[in-house]
Structures are given as structure tokens and as C-alpha cells.
Structure 1
Amino acid sequence: MEKIDVRGFWSGLILSKTKTGKTIPQELLIQKITAPDGHVYYLGTTQDLSDKLYRVAGIEHGGIELLTQLPGEDEFYIKLQDILNFLEEKRGLMVISFVPNFEPSFEFEHKKQLASALAYYEDDFSAGFLKKTVFTIAITYERSSEKPHSLSIFEAIRERFNAIKHRVDSDVYKKITECSIGVSVLGIDANNEQKMLSHSLQAMYEKHSSNNTKICFYNRTLHQKAKKREIEEEIIRSAVDEKTMEVFSSQLYVPATGRFKN
């Protein structure tokens, strides 16, 4: 109200629920109108931004990212903590992170479609949209002494992604299957919500996989190797930039040919 009194108006982005129960992003403009008799009125008008999704991409309001309408990082942490607090002894928990590489011309629509598919199953697990690019989901699954733990994990992943497949277009699902999917499992590589989310992101970015599969489980050894390589590359890059290192081309003389070989 203070800004309206000083400037005479206020505008901002909001989430509004329609008569059908659908939540849509809107731009709200509130104007201050002073009548001749001194009475003050406030006029509010809204503009539906459903067809202008680029204007709300990456913007959070109340912990919710407006384009996808999924929880941002802080809100996702809270939801993940709630799941941990009420997790039954016989159930496991994993966090999965992935970044589909959508075509630029369809990016906003496809992100919104995928987010809608994830939110549809929110009763079974929690979904979030982090760092303006990463889709993250927390999945609980049944642990059984009658089958290997790893099998229970893979079955839960397959079941969840099959459910997503039936709620998105084939083009959207194809992009999901093409990207690296990072996985962190409670009790195996992490023991709290911060490590689970961090490890799933590291597994995704560093592609912790020893085969051709796109599903990458967090691996401490691979992470340490990737970190070491990153540090070595930075040392070399800095040395070249600061001209504290000289680069030489080594050659080997081959007597039989009378030539030098690189």
C-alpha cells in the first residue's frame, strides 16, 4: 500500500485460480484513484500471461516458480524434509534430478507440460524446479527382503517415468530419455535432504555412470576424480592466462625414416 500511495500504482506477477480450479500466472496492476470529493479508490486489473510464458520463466513467488508452478529450491527442501520426517521404516527414498534439452521454440510450453505431469502425482512424491533449469523429484518406494534393494530402486524409477510418459507428448518424453538423470538414495550415498539433492545434481552434471545408461547414481570416487580434473584444468588455465607456463611440442626422431615424429 505504501508504494501505491507514493507512486499511485503497483504492478507485479501473481498466481490466480480460475473457476475451473486451474492456476494461471497473471500480471496485476493496482491504480490509486482520488475522486473529486476526496474519496480514494483502488482499481485492480489483471492480464493473463498463460500465452506469454517467457515473462514468468525463472521467477519465484512464495517459493513457487511461476512458469512450472513447482516449488523452488527452498520450498523443495521443506517438502523433502517433511517426507523424511514421516518416512516409514520399510520405505526408501531417492531424489532424482534431470534437465531436458527442449527445443527453444517449444521450451516454455514443454516445461509447463512436464511440470503439470509431475504435479499431477504430487500425492505420491514431491517435485520441484531448481536453478531455473533442473526438474527434481523425490520418490518413495517399498523396500522388501524378498528382492534386492537395487531392483526395488530401478522398479520405482521405471514406474514413475512410465507414469510421466502417459501424461506428456512423445516429443517431451523423448527429451527426458535423452538427458542425464542423476540419482541419490537415502542410506546409500546420503543421510539427509541437503546431501540427497546435492548428490543427485552432482551425479547428473558429472554423469556418474560406468555404462551407456542415462541413469547415473552418485558415486563418491567418480565425483572425486571429476573434482580433481576440474582443479587441474583450472590450474593449467590460470597458468596460461598469467603466462607462467610455456607450452612445447615434443618430437621423436625416427632413424629408419630420417624424420621427426610428433
Structure 2
Amino acid sequence: MQKILRNTMVFLFIFLFACGAKDDGAKLRLDSARRFYANKEYTLAKQEIDSVKILYPKAFDQIRASLAFLDTVRRAENEQIITQCDSLIAMHEPTLDKIKTLFSFQRNKEYQETGVFIPKESLTGGVITGTMLRSGVGEDGVLYIESVFVGSKQKHNRIKISAKDGSFAQSLAVTDDGLNYRFSNMGKEYEIIRFAGTSENGVAGFIFTNSNNPLTATLEGQGKYTYTLSQTTKSAISKSFQLSTMMLQLDSLKTAKEKAEYHIYYLDNKKDKENPDNVIK
């Protein structure tokens, strides 16, 4: 009888010790999450909250408390994102407006739903003056490069920009679909091939990086044709690259802000549903 009683007491002691260790460990994790939250280290706070459920799956009180606290952390994190985005947008918008003064905004309202920003030094009044590269930026911030060729039939569908040190950037091949044109006029062959998005493949960025160095453009297709890029062309494409980069960055910031605002809206609605007495009737 004494032996049974002794074994029972040992088991009870071990059980109580294990429960105490379980609760203490979970509580320490939750306290750590609160400290990270106070220091605005929200990612670390969420990691500590996750560890409560993972490491202490039977610490039910602490798990409930940590899940409730998680919404507080998420709200603060999204408020921080909104503040940071507002600050960066306010900082960069004046620079973007200044860059846009270097461009002419063009849109044919009869045929186009959106317009494009054309570098002022590239404006030709729609007249093709010779073989060249020209560029522009859509209202969505997407940059394009057009390869214009005048001469004998070339049928090119790819461009390669090379520097003297052997480095180069090469577009992807494009089809004749979309904004690509091949036509003849007064015995001359004309080709206007557009590279945008994926097909542009970093060509504009390469020209921007090497704008002060001699660069050659090679048109590739059924044959090859190589010529030297003028400083005016390099300057215009570099400006287009800078404008596109700035517009896409600002668009990304505005999207991040909108997502954060939606997350806060979701958390507020969730709180109202869990506490219907807080809803104003």
C-alpha cells in the first residue's frame, strides 16, 4: 500500500512539474513577444507568438492569449507600413514630377486609352529620320524600346547592345504581333520593332549604366546590322529608364499602403464581429 501511495505521489509530482514547466515556457515566450512589440520589432514578436503554439500545444490559456495579441501586433505592423510608405511617397513624388518635365506626354484620345512619356530629345514629329533606338514610358511605368531600321530588308526581331569591354545586354526575340511594323516606301524598307516588359530584358538598364561609354547596337534576325549609338539616344533611353524605375517604385509603395489599409480594415471588422457590443447601431 505504501509503495502504491509513493508511486502515485511521484507521478503527481512529475505531472505538476511538467504542467508548470509547460505554462512557464509559454508565458516566457508570450512575454518576449510583448517586449518585441513594445520595441516595434513586429516580425520577431510574431515569431515568438508562433512558437507558443508550436512548442507548447497544450498551454491553452497562453495560446488563446497569444492569438489575441497577434491581431494587435499585425495592426501595429500595418500602421508602421502605412507611415513608412507615406514618408517615402512624399519624398520621391517631387523627384518624379521633376523627371517628367524632361518628357512630352503624348496620347491620341481617339485611339489610345492611355498615353506615353517620350523623352523630349527623341521627338521627331512622327517622322522616321533613320536607323535608331527610341524609347518611352507608359502611364503604368512600363518602359519600351523601339528599334527603327531603314534600309534593305532586314527582318530583325532582337537587339544586342555591346560595350568595348565585351559586356552586353540582349533583348529576347519578338514576333510580328502587336506594335511591330514592317513596310516599304519609295524603295526603302522600314522596320519598327518594339521591346517591352520581358522582351526588353534589361537593355535600357545596360545603356543607363554605360551611358558615358561607346556602345554599339546590333540588329539580329534574318541578317545582322551594327551601328554606334549616339549620345542623344543613350541619354534619352537613360532618362526613360530612370522615369520607369521611379514610377514603378512609387506604384509599389502605393500598392503596399493599400494592402496595409485593407489588412487594418479586416482586423477592425474581425474585432467588431467578435465584440458585437462595440458596433455602433
The TM-score with structure 1 as length reference comes to: 0.22
Q: Which has the higher strand share?
A: 1
Q: Which has the larger radius of gyration?
A: 2
The TM-score with structure 2 as length reference comes to: 0.21
Q: Which has the higher helix share?
A: 2
